Every structure is written in structure tokens, then in C-alpha cells.
Structure 1
Amino acid sequence: MKDNATSPESYPEYHFAIYLWKYCSPIMIALGTVGNIFCIVTLLRKNLRQQTTVIYLVALSLNDLLVLYSGLLRHWIIKSFDVDVRLLSELSCKLHLWVVYMSLDTSGWILVAVTIERVALVWFPHASKARCNRTVAACILGVLIGSTMLINSHLIYGIGDVTNIENNETVVKHCYYESDSYKRFFIDIWPWIDLAKFNAIPFLLILIGNVIIITSVVKNHQKLRRTVVPQGTRKRMKKVNSMTATLIVLNTAFLLSTTPISVYLAFYEEWSENASHHTIARLTLSWAVVNLLMYSNNTLNFLLYCVSGGNFRKEIRHLCKRYPAAHTEATRATTLVQIQHISTHAMPTVD
């Protein structure tokens, strides 16, 4: 079919993509902000913070906030106000690219770390309980974050403001490849490295871990039915199973939300080569969809916790009951002080 349109903007797919960016992004940022802050507050309550897994989940919520405000917010500002934070200065270009790639990678590897911890607890329950503590969790998080910062550090020196002489004129390209060799690396090689570290390797590790965890949980349930287990042990196992269910749901959501954008980035150069205007419009829409799907993982973790975690829901109920009660007590105390104040000043004095 012949492409008679003069530009991709002539097609409805392009305008629908802009619509998605402009109107879905602020809603997702607002929901993600409230949800992740509420997650952190709930996870740090006394009954939950004793579990080392909570250290990882709190770090995940903080990282989700960083992803939303470094990545999704930029897209919304571009589409709504035609301002790109990467073009404000060379420093903002380098730092923003680095932070976005680093924070996106960190999300997946935090889930890998907590999955491996749960596998260790399932396979070696007694030995793992002694070794899986807050200090170890903090050290693992430090290594993960340091590694993602290091592996993406080439963006800091590989991309920036480049000055060229074209037709006897000085042309400055902002946030561009510093050299032709780096351009070839970024276009031909980097997408596959990014696919491996962002999605493929975490996908494989999480999938294997989930299979091991689910198999072990099923065996434990069968064992519980056949034997008489003390009430205290049963409660502890319920708590572990609740956290395990939450982890499996988070892992599944991560895999489903990040795979499409990884595939898109890996094959974009092939799809866009000699593409018609209509194809580019479709790719623009696809880019918006896969991005919003990816950011939905950072937005909706709170709902996933609520759906999958019985202990999490229980803590939310306690939290909701606590604040109205505190508000009622404060109101009563204020009213009592006011009554005492009125009574004191209203009583007649005897001269």
C-alpha cells in the first residue's frame, strides 16, 4: 500500500501515542508516588520489618519512585511542554541517561536478590536464617546498586554535546554520540547487552527461582496436611508463605511488563530501517505502549502487595484503624482542654 502522507504526524496512531503520554503519565506518577510511599510506611511497621525480605522491598519502592520521576516524568514534560531535561545542559544529559538506565536495571536485580534469598530459605532453612540478616541484605543491595552504576557508566563519557563543522558552519548536536565508534556500539551492541542485563538474565533467574519456590511451597502444604504442626510453627509458615506469594506476583508482573520494551529496543533498528511514515507512526504508538507498560510495574506494586500479601493487608488494616483512633483521642483531648479553659474563665470570682 502506497504511503501518501507527508509525515508520521498525519496518522491517528501518532496522535494517540501523544495522548497516552500526556494523560496516562501524570496519573501513573501520582498513583505510583502515593502507592510506593504507603508501601514503605506499611513495610516498616513492627510486624513486617523484622523480615529481611522487607529490606529489599523497601529499596524496591524507593527505586520505583526514582524510576517514575527520572523516566516517566521526562516523557510527560516533553509531550506536554516540549521541554527535554536532557537538552538543558551536557551534564543533565549524561546524568539523566545514567540514572534512568541504572534505576531500571536495579529494579530487576533487587527482585533477583530477594528471589535467591527465598530459595535459600526454602532449601537451607536453618543455615539461611542465620546468614540472611539485615546487614547481609544491605551489603547485597550496595553491591547491586554499585554494579548497575558501573555497568551503565559508559553513558557518562559516551554521550554528550558534540560540535561539528558542516558546510562551513559550526553545528552543535546536544546529547549525541561522542564518536562514530561509540555510535556503532550503542546502536548495534548495546541493545543486546541491555536486553541481557535488564530482562533476559533476571527473567531466567527469577523464573528458575519461582519454580523452586512454588514446588517447595506445595510440598510444605502437603506435609502440613499429613502431620500435626504446633500453632506457633504454623503461624510462622503462613507468614513465610504470604511473603513468598507476594514475591511471586511481583516477579510475574516484572517479567510481563519489561519483556515487550526489551524486544522493541532490540529490534527497533531493523523495524525502522526504510520504514514508511505509517510504520513510523505505528512504532511511535508501540513505543508509548511498551513504555507505559514498563512503568506500570513501578506504579502498581502497592496493588500487587495488597492482592498477594495477607500480612500486608493485615498491616494496612491496623494502620487505617490506628490513625482514626489517634485522631479521635486528639480531638477528645482538645475538647477537654477547651472545656477546662471555658470553665476556668467563666466561674464568678469572690472579692
Structure 2
Amino acid sequence: MHEPVTDQVYLIFYPVLGAVGIPVNLVAIVILSRGKCGLSKCITYYLVAMAVADLLVVLTSVVLSRIIGVYFPASFLSITPLCRLKTALIYATKDSSVWLTVAFTFDRYVAICCQKLKNKYCTERTAAVVIETVFALSCLRNIPWYFAFISLYTIDNVPWYCTFKSSFYTSSAWRAFSYLNHILTPFVPLILISLFNLLTVKHILVANRIRKALLGKKNGEKENDSEMENRRKSIILLLTISGSFILLWMTFAVHYLYHRMTNTYNYSGSDDPVYILQEAGYMLLLLSCCTNTCIYAVTQTKFREELKNLAKYPLMLIAKLFK
């Protein structure tokens, strides 16, 4: 289990991340749930689920693990059973966040590239089933983490903190579980998201060329075409969400590959380049749980309008009280 660090930059970064990540994800959930952003219900389901998963990651990985772990190291959350449960929840919430991004990317691929399958797959019911399945499998798959730890020491018959069992490093089953865990998150999602994006962009470029030819457009003309405009908005939303995910998880993936290839387990200090790479990877992957709301605000006009209305609402209430 990765332990919280005590360097000054991290002591500042994680509280700020928690203070920003919780409200922005709550705002995204509220605005998207209202269904007034001009998005289909299928897309809305995925975006709300992703915001919920990101919120859970912030609460578990940032608040419970990093902030409380550093500032309140002897809290009741450090009792071994709760420490083990917290670790399993951290992995489960990360998995759900990652695989919901994959599910959303695949849904947009089907909607844009597979017209025959679109009407059957891109529905509210299918989205709900996929979301529920992702959350359920993420929880089930990470149950073994609870049993991977033992107490670090015992005080007055109370076990405290978590440390890996010795068998975790020697058992073939535990090694296989650890490898599978990192293959499924994030390497397979990175490959799938990149593949679906590539196929989607290729399909849109080909479809746009064909549509322009059928409409008799000439190069340089600026004629309005609602269908092409809708495709453009869809691809911007898709690429910004999945592109952000890929960029912010890439450092973690690079460190893990280096860690496995070189068997680097110890660092010379906080100025060790490998240690910095490791911590930067964790910081960026947790930052990815706060970026989607910014993406919606930048790419979606109606989301920005709803955000403004939400910001004005408390002021309107205050104005009414003083009338």
C-alpha cells in the first residue's frame, strides 16, 4: 500500500485537491442530474456516474488516505480492520472511475460508428446496467485487498496500521493478483480508450468528407450543417474527457513499468528522481478526478449556463430575504 508522504508540496497539494475536488464533483452531479445541458439521457447517466465515482475517489484516496493519514496518523481509521477496509475502498473507487471512462468512450464509439447497434445499445436502460455492473465488479474485484494486510503492531490488544503479509511477496497467487490489478487498471483502459478514440475520429473524418461531397460543398465555404456540428461537439467532449484521462494516468503507468523492470523498491530520499516520478504519478491520477467539471464548463455552453444559474441561486435567496 502506498503510504502518504510528508514533503511540504504534498502536504499542500492534497488538502487543496480535496477542497476543490469535492465541491466541483458535487456541482457536476447536481447540474447534470437536472438534465438541462442538452445532452441525451444516456450520456447524462454516464457523466453523472463518472462524477459520483470521481467524488468517491477524492473522499477515499485524498481525504481518508492522504489528508487524514498525514495530519491525523493516529486516528481510529488507522485501526487495522478499518485500514484494510479503507485500502480496498481506495482500489475499488479508482477502478470504477477508470472503467466508467472506458464505458463512456465505448458508448460514444457505438453511437457514432455503429449505427445498427446504436438504437439497441445507446439507451438509458443499457447505460444503467453498464454503470451498475462497473460499480459491482469494481467492488468484488478488490475484496482480496482486504485480506492482503496484517497489523503493523498491537497496543492494548488493539491492532494498528496495515502492512502487507509476507506471503504477498512470495505467494504466486498474490503476485498474479497484483499483476492483474495493474493490467486491468490502468493499462487495459489506456489501450481501449486510445483504440476507441482512434476508430471514432477516423469514422467522423470519413463521414464528414462523404457528407461534404453529398452536399456539394466546396473547400473554404462556411455553410451551416447541424449534423456535422453535433458530431464536432460530441468528438470534442469525448476527446477532452478521455484525452485528459490518458495524459493524467500516463505518468503513473510509466513509473509502474520502470518499477517492475528495474525492481526499484527503495529510494535515496525525496529528491530521488524515481521517487519524484512516483509521487507525480499519484498526484496526477488523483487530479484526474477533478478535471471533468472543468471540461464540461469549457466545452458545453448549456453546462456553463446552468453553472451560472447555480451560482446565482444563493444570491437570489439572500436578496429575497432582505426584501
Taking structure 2 as the reference length, what is the TM-score of the superposition? 0.80
Find the counterpart in structure 1 of residue 13 from structure 2.
24
**Structure 2 residue ranges without an equivalent (≥5):** 217-223
Instruction: Please give the residue correspondences for 1:1-351 in structure 2 after superposition, counting only pairs within 5 Å.
Output: 18-44=7-33, 45-48=35-38, 50-73=40-63, 74-83=65-74, 87=78, 89-161=79-151, 174-178=161-165, 180-185=166-171, 188-228=175-215, 234-235=225-226, 238-268=229-259, 270-273=262-265, 275=266, 277-278=268-269, 281-307=272-298, 309=299, 312-321=300-309, 324=312, 331=319, 335=323
Q: CA deviation at 1:240?
A: 4.6
User: C-alpha separation between the residues in 2 aligned to 1:332 and 1:323?
Assistant: 15
Counterpart of 2:168, as a letter, is: Y
Question: For residues 173 and 40 of structure 1, what CA distance do their matches in structure 2 show?
Answer: 36
Q: 1:280, CA displacement in angstroms? A: 7.8
Retained in 1: the 8 A contact 2:84–2:146?
A: yes
Rounded to whole Å, the distance in 1 between the matches of 2:315 and 2:270 is: 58
Distance 1:215 1:71 in 2: 37
- What letter matches 1:277 in structure 2? S
Identical-residue share of aligned pairs (%): 17
Deviation at 1:192, TM superposition (A): 2.5
Counterpart-to-counterpart distance in 2, 1:327 and 1:174: 46
**Which residue type is aligned with residue 20 of structure 1?**
V
Q: Tell me the SS of whatever aligns to 2:150.
A: strand
Q: Which residue of 2 aligns with 1:340?
A: none
Contact 2:29 2:48 in 1 (8 A): yes
Change in Cα spacing, 1:319 to 1:173, as seen in structure 2 (3 Å) is closer
Distance 1:177 1:51, change over 3 A: same
Aligned residue identity for 2:56: L
The alignment of Structure 1 onto Structure 2 pairs a total of residues equal to 307
- State the shift of 1:254 in Å: 1.1
Asked if the contact 1:21/1:79 (under 8 Å) is kept, the reply is no
Post-superposition Cα deviations, 1:270-303, rounded to whole Å, max 9, x if no partner, equal 4545x56348854443332211111111122212
Change (3 A) 1:137 1:237: farther
In the superposition, relative to structure 1, how do residues 329 and 267 fare at CA in structure 2: closer, same or farther (>3 Å)? Answer: closer
1:342 alignment partner in structure 2: none
The structure, 1 or 2, with the larger RCO (C-alpha pairs under 8 Å, 6+ apart) is 1
One-letter code aligned to 2:80 = E
Cross-structure match for 1:11: none
Q: Whole-Å Cα distance in 2 between the matches of residues 146 and 202 of structure 1?
A: 17
Q: Equivalents in 1 of 2:49, 2:117: separation in Å? A: 25
Q: Structure 1-normalised TM-score?
A: 0.75
Could you tell me how far apart the structure 1 residues matched to 2:317 and 2:14 are?
Answer: 40
Structure 1 match to 2:221: none
1:111–1:251 Cα contact (<8 Å) kept: yes
Give a deviation string over 1:61-102, Cα, whole Å, max 9, x none. Answer: 111111111112221233334446652x22212211111111
Q: Deviations over 1:187-219 (max 9, x none)?
A: 844442222111111111111100011112222
Indicate how the Cα distance of structure 1 residues 333 and 113 shifts in structure 2: closer, same or farther if over 3 A, else same. same
Letter in 1 for 2:12: Y
* Mapped partners of 2:274, 2:137: distance in 1: 32
Aligned partner letter, 2:110: A
- What do you get for the CA RMSD once the two structures are aligned? 3.5
Higher helix share: 1
Cα displacement (A) at 1:146: 1.5
Letter in 1 for 2:43: T
Aligned letter for 2:302?
K
Higher alpha-carbon deviation: 30-39 or 61-70: 30-39
Distance in 2 between residues matched to 1:24 and 1:322, nearest whole Å: 27
The answer on whether the counterparts of 1:161 and 1:174 sit within 8 Å (CA) in structure 2 is yes
2 CA distance for matches of 1:145 and 1:329?
37
Report Cα offsets for 1:298-327 as digits up to 9, x if no partner. Answer: 1222122233x2xx2333225525764896
SS at match of 1:286: helix
In the TM superposition, what whole-angstrom CA distance separates every residue of 1:108-140 from its partner, at most 9, and x where no partner exists? Answer: 211111111112112322541343211111111
Match for 1:93: what amino acid?
C
Q: Once structures 1 and 2 are overlaid, which stretch shifts more, 17-26 or 220-229?
A: 220-229
What is the DSSP-based 3-state SS (H/G/I as helix, E as strand, rest coil) of the residue aligned with 1:277? coil
Given that 2:98 and 2:189 are in contact with CA atoms closer than 8 Å, whether structure 1 keeps it comes out as yes
What SS is found at the alignment partner of 2:151? strand
